[in-house]
């Protein structure tokens, strides 16, 4: 939404605080049922009276928060590579505290979830909001694709780039050796003619004219 994580947190925190007092969906548990891998978990929603339910397949949510804490043992940690969804519930209080390091209430980790609603309920899919009519929604693992990621500090260089860099260095070395070649001195022997003062006086006018024309 915004180009700063801090601004995102302020925006989400403000919206969460407003909803904390409005409590628009405080009776969400009356209009929804939930099954995870065939197990009915609706009773847990009614027990905690969740304000919203979150289905997550990545670690971060809502401007960089970590609603499913990864502080416990490996098998319960969230991962985008395990083919499982993390299902969490939030009350109005825990949703507002999320931007201050709060966590959601864990409901389940599952590969298939089934949600049935009996009333039009606002939802978000990948950040896109909509008002969904009463329906049955099924979420399951579809497939997995490899992705490329740039390492922060990588010393690997493809062979083509190495070869290109080697050629460039050789060219630079050759050009520097050419520019540093020793200079060769050239000497000339010029004849010197001796004249008398009388001859100089006779040819003086010619010498001045040559100077004026730039030929001497």
The C-alpha atoms of residue 143 and residue 83 are separated, in whole angstroms, by: 8
> At 35, which helix (H) or strand (E)?
strand 32-36
pLDDT for res 37: 92
Contacts 24+ apart (CB under 8 A), 45-48: 45/89, 45/107, 48/89, 48/91, 48/105
Q: Is 99 part of a structural domain of the chain? A: yes
Q: Is 206 part of a structural domain of the chain? A: no
Q: Which domain does 12 fall in, by range?
A: 4-140
CATH number at 125 reads 2.60.200.40
Q: Is 54 part of a structural domain of the chain? A: yes
Phi, psi of 125 (to 5 degrees): -125, 110
pLDDT for res 184: 57
0.75 cut: is pTM over it?
no
Q: What is the pLDDT along the chain (216 residues), one digit of tens a residue?
A: 557 777 777 776 676 666 666 666 778 888 999 999 999 999 998 888 888 899 988 888 877 788 887 766 666 777 777 888 899 998 878 877 877 788 888 999 999 999 999 999 888 887 788 888 999 999 988 877 777 777 766 555 555 556 666 666 666 666 555 555 455 556 656 565 666 676 767 777 766 776 666 555
The C-alpha atoms of residue 46 and residue 44 are separated, in whole angstroms, by: 5
Q: Is 120 part of a structural domain of the chain? A: yes
Residues 6 or more apart whose CB falls under 8 angstroms from that of 5 comprise 63, 64
User: What string of DSSP letters covers 159-201?
Assistant: HHHHHHHHHHHHHHHHHHHHHTPPP-------------HHHHH
The C-alpha atoms of residue 101 and residue 11 are separated, in whole angstroms, by: 15
pLDDT for res 33: 93
Q: How many domains does the chain have?
A: 1
Q: Is 110 part of a structural domain of the chain? A: yes
The Cβ of residue 89 has, within 10 Å, a number of other Cβ atoms equal to 24
Q: Is 210 part of a structural domain of the chain? A: no
Phi, psi of 65 (to 5 degrees): -75, 160
pLDDT for res 87: 92
Q: Is 82 part of a structural domain of the chain? A: yes
Q: Is 148 part of a structural domain of the chain? A: no
pLDDT for res 36: 93
Select from 129, 140, 109 the least CA-distant residue to 52.
129
The C-alpha atoms of residue 77 and residue 79 are separated, in whole angstroms, by: 7
């Amino acid at each position: 939404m915004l180009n700063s994580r801090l601004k995102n947190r302020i925006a989400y925190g403000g919206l969460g605080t407003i909803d904390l007092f409005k409590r628009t969906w405080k009776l969400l548990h009356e209009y929804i049922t939930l099954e995870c891998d065939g197990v009915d978990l609706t009773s847990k929603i009614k027990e905690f009276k969740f304000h919203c339910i979150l289905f997550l397949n990545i670690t971060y949510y809502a401007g960089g928060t970590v609603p499913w804490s990864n502080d416990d043992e490996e098998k319960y940690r969230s991962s985008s590579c395990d083919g499982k969804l993390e299902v969490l519930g939030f009350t109005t209080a825990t949703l507002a505290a999320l931007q201050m390091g709060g966590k959601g209430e864990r409901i389940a980790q599952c590969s298939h979830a089934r949600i049935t609603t009996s009333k039009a309920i606002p939802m978000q899919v990948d950040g896109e909001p909509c008002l969904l009519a009463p329906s049955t929604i099924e979420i399951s693992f579809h497939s997995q694709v490899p992705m490329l990621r740039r390492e922060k500090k990588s010393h690997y260089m493809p062979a083509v780039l190495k070869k290109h860099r080697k050629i460039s260095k050789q060219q630079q070395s050759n050009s520097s050796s050419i520019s540093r070649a020793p200079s060769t001195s050239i000497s000339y022997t010029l004849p010197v003619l001796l004249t008398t003062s009388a001859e100089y006086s006779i040819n003086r006018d010619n010498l001045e004219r040559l100077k004026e024309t730039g030929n001497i």
